[in-house]
Amino acid sequence: MSERTVDRNGEWRALTEAWAATDDAEGAEVATPHGALDSLRRRAERQRRRQIAVAVLEWLLFAGLLVLTVVVLRGGAAAWELIWLASLWGFTAVAMGFAWWNRRATWRAAGVALDDYVRLARLRAERQLRTVRFVLALFAVEVIVVVAQLAWFDRLVPAAVAALAAAAAVIVSWCVVTRRRLDRDLSRIDAFRRNAH
Amino acid sequence: MADDGAELERVLGAWGPLLRRLTWAYERDAAAREDLLQEIHLALWRALPRFRGECAERTFVLRVAHNRAITHTFRRPPRAAALDAAQEVADPRPGPENEAAAAQRRERLLAALHRLPLAARQILTLHLEGLSGREIAELLGVTENNANVRLSRARGALEAELGGKDRP
């Protein structure tokens, strides 16, 4: 073993000792006391409640669409109402199909190898970016179809135009904010992968 | 989620200090580190019921922890990242001379680590924890040869950051 190797091994031993001492630097608790476990339980419960809220909201939207359909059909729907309902269900089906297709192969277990996890993180970010593009495209097509229908049936009133403009503002804002966040995430992931390989 | 509080307590009893050290590689701010540690504990709590012993427990715990920490770092707001990069930790604690020297060495190591890219920091912390090339390869999901190449590059970068006379 050369003198240089011995020297480097000594340096690394010192570094390892310095690293091991980071744990003492904060007066670490080695075991998890019950208080910490309670705090974890509360955190898990908050996350669970958020997930339930999102699921409930999705079901409420779907139920709302069903109720709207029943109400319109029971009152003896006019031709424009039937076409409007059909397009609404059509767009809903397309959106649900896309959501299902776009989520495939993105589930990741927490305990997978680190490289696989980062690869999946990139795939998920790419899919979310695709969702942003899809939402914009779907909304644009929806606006064209709805405006054409309203104009055809002579119902393009200012209130309808204002509603469409408000929806456009909300959707475009969401797309811009989400796109910005995803671009940042992707550049971080790519920088990580560049440095790792 | 199954209530595996007892199992989590056992795992944290065995690997708690390791996890706490790991957070230093990702966060320099104490509050952010504590937050990350909680996230890791939660991820472990959820992941443990799915652990079937395909690898060593330490490997599994480290995988879950690093994966959680990576997500945490990727999603960190830019302002927090900038503050973190700029932060230089000074140890204000008084004490005997050798304790102060040890603290200084630790701070120098942490500062040098945080000047390195995240990928290098990650592999170096595994090495500093005493994992072999084979264990690191298993954790990363790459060949042992590839892991050794990455490790050698990261060690070189750390040595360059520490500089000849500044080495602990």
Per-residue pLDDT tens over the stretch B5-50: 788 888 888 888 899 999 988 988 888 888 899 999 999 988 888 8
Tokens of A164: 């469409």
pLDDT grade, residue A113 (50/70/90)? confident
Quick check: A32 and B16 CB within 8 A?
yes
Q: How far is B87 from chain A (nearest CA, A)?
A: 17
| pLDDT tens figures, A20-73 | 887 665 555 444 555 677 788 888 888 889 989 999 999 999 999 999 999 988
Write the CB contacts of B9 (distance below 8 Å, at least 6 apart in sequence). Answer: A31, A32, A37
* pLDDT of the residue at B98: 65
Which of B63, B75, B91, B93 is the best substitution to test chain A (most A C-beta atoms within 10 A)?
A: B63
Percentage with pLDDT > 90 across chain B: 33
- pLDDT grade for A128, boundaries at 50, 70 and 90: very high
Q: Calculate helix-pair angle for A34-74, B30-47, nearest 10 degrees.
A: 70
On chain A, the residues whose CB falls within 8 A of the CB of B159 are 11
- Asked whether B56 and B15 are in contact (CB, 8 A), the reply is no
A99: amino acid identity, one letter = A
d(CA B109, CA B115) in angstroms, rounded, equals 10
Does the structure's ipTM exceed the value 0.90?
no
B82 within 8 A of B92, measured Cβ to Cβ = no
Q: A167-184: string of b/e by CB count within 10 Å (b at 16+)?
A: eeeebeeebeeeeeebeb
For A58-67, A166-175, B63-72, B103-112, which range has the lowest pLDDT when averaged over its residues? B103-112
Average pLDDT over residues A61-86: 88
| Nearest chain A residue to B66, by CA | A114
Mean pLDDT over the full length of chain B? 82
Res. A156: pLDDT tops 60: yes
Q: What does the pLDDT read at residue A25?
A: 56
Pick from B78, B118, B150: CB nearest A184: B78
**What is the average pLDDT across A116-120?**
89
Query: What pTM does this model have?
Result: 0.78
